[in-house]
Amino acid sequence: MQADADVRGDGGGGLRGVPEEFRTWILKADAACDQPSMTPSLLAAQLYQESKFRPTAQSNVGAQGPAQFMPGTWATWGRDDDGNGENSPWDIGDAVMAQGRMMCSLLGQAVSSGYPGGPQSLALAGYNAGWGRVEQYGGVPPRTFANGETYNYVQIILSTMKRFEGPGKLEVSGSGSGPNALRKASSLLGTPYSYGGGGPQGPSTGFCDGTNGYLNGRCSASSTVGMDCSSLVQYAYWPDSKLPRTAASQYSATSDRPVAKGDLKPGDLLFWSHGPSSSIYHVALYAGDGKVLQAPRTGRNVEVVALASAMPAGDYHGATRP
């Protein structure tokens, strides 16, 4: 029998100190963004600065909800993300996902602009003062602009991000193939994602195939020493279980041992697909407590995240036990 693992970590995939009703939405908003400089702690620190996580927050100039959207800005970014039939800046899910979309767009603009200061600083300044002000000053507006409001906004959020960062280490107790594999894979937390990279011996450079492996228009994988989703799983179980290299083939090799969501144990394999099993595109290791350990995509690192936000929920194909 495979022993259960006692998994202890940050409880939210690199995120701590936020109200539970915000946690899932912050992780979803982070997962939906393809900008490497987007992090859950950035969104959390920004929400704390904007509203102290108060859904009913309203400023004296009319900014509304936990992410403090002005009505005109909300019209651009707001959607009914929580599916309750209302598109509202007062709803936590709607507000956080809109915040994430706007910040993701601003981070992309920041990278393309070439302005000094770093993408997080520039995006925060754009969120607070509008991207036009960033363009006007060629970076974060100085202290002399708006009595230092934007300058201080950026500095405060950057300095408070640390308090919302969960510890990176994943502690696993117990024995058996699942906990042992999870323990081995957790040693690679923080390792960059590299499409086609990695294998039984650990991280290596990868390759680009015309679609995958690119970041900001260049082939990132060929110069990045790291792992992709299936090489991380292969590495975790090697040599006791010599799983094949790709996610689809790993599913084929283990599909005769399916596991229901309610019966998941640490080390089980979880798969996502665009339809049939032949279209499986992602695999991750179950880390216990509703979390997964995964190598997500180009520009990101090996991480622990909530299962609900690891990949699109509708793509979840099933789980197996090696």
Tell me the per-residue pLDDT of 29-47, one tens digit each, with 9 for 90 and over.
887 888 888 888 999 999 9
pTM: 0.55
Number of structural domains in the chain: 2
Shared domain for 50 and 96, answered yes or no, is: yes
Confidence band of 52 (pLDDT split at 50, 70, 90): very high
Shared domain for 133 and 172, answered yes or no, is: no
Residue whose C-alpha is closest to residue 72's, from 81, 80, 63: 63
pLDDT tens digits, one per residue of 100-120: 999 999 999 999 999 999 999
What CATH number did the domain enclosing 288 receive?
3.90.1720.10
Per-chain mean pLDDT for the chain: 91
Shared domain for 71 and 171, answered yes or no, is: no
Percent of the chain at pLDDT > 90 equals 75
pLDDT tens digits, one per residue of 195-225: 999 999 888 899 999 999 999 999 999 998 8
Residue 168 and residue 304: Cα distance in Å, rounded? 8
More confident residue, 174 or 6: 174
Q: In the 3-class helix/strand/coil scheme, how is the chain assigned residue by residue? A: CCCCCEEECCCCCCCCCCCHHHHHHHHHHHHCCCCCCCCHHHHHHHHHHHHCCCCCCECCCCCECCCCECHHHHHHHCCCCCCCCCCCCCCHHHHHHHHHHHHHHHHHHHHHHCCCCCHHHHHHHHHHHCHHHHHHHCCCCCCCHHHHHHHHHHHHHHHHHHHHCCCCCCEEECCCHHHHHHHHHHCCCCCEECCCCCECCECEECCCCCCCCEECCEECHHHCEEECHHHHHHHHHCCCCCCCCCHHHHHHHHCCCEECHHHCCCCCEEEEECCCHHHEEEEEEEEECCEEEECCCCCCECEEEEHHHHCCHHHEEEEECC
Query: Which residue, of 113, 133, 164, is where some domain finishes?
Result: 164
Shared domain for 131 and 54, answered yes or no, is: yes
Q: What is the mean pLDDT of residues 85-97?
A: 97
Domain that holds residue 157: 20-164
Q: Is residue 142 part of a domain?
A: yes
Residue 249 and residue 131: Cα distance in Å, rounded? 46
Shared domain for 58 and 188, answered yes or no, is: no
pLDDT tens digits, one per residue of 268-322: 999 999 999 999 999 999 999 889 999 999 999 889 899 989 999 999 999 999 9
Shared domain for 283 and 306, answered yes or no, is: yes
Active site residue 50: yes
Shared domain for 238 and 157, answered yes or no, is: no
Torsion of CA 5, 282, 261, 320, to 10 degrees: -70
Q: Is residue 250 part of a domain?
A: yes
Shared domain for 158 and 181, answered yes or no, is: no
Q: Is residue 1 part of a domain?
A: no
Q: What is the mean pLDDT of residues 37-64?
A: 95
| From 20, 21, 50, 86, the catalytic residue | 50
| pLDDT at residue 47 in the model | 98
Q: What is the mean pLDDT of residues 83-88?
A: 96
Cα 242 to the chain's mean position, in Å? 29
Shared domain for 142 and 182, answered yes or no, is: no
Shared domain for 137 and 156, answered yes or no, is: yes
Is the pLDDT reported for residue 6 higher than 50?
no
* Bridge-based pairing state of the strands 280-288 and 269-273: antiparallel
Q: Is residue 95 part of a domain?
A: yes
Shared domain for 28 and 149, answered yes or no, is: yes
What CATH number did the domain enclosing 79 receive?
1.10.530.10
Query: Which residue, of 164, 188, 210, is where some domain finishes?
Result: 164
Percent of the chain at pLDDT > 70 equals 94
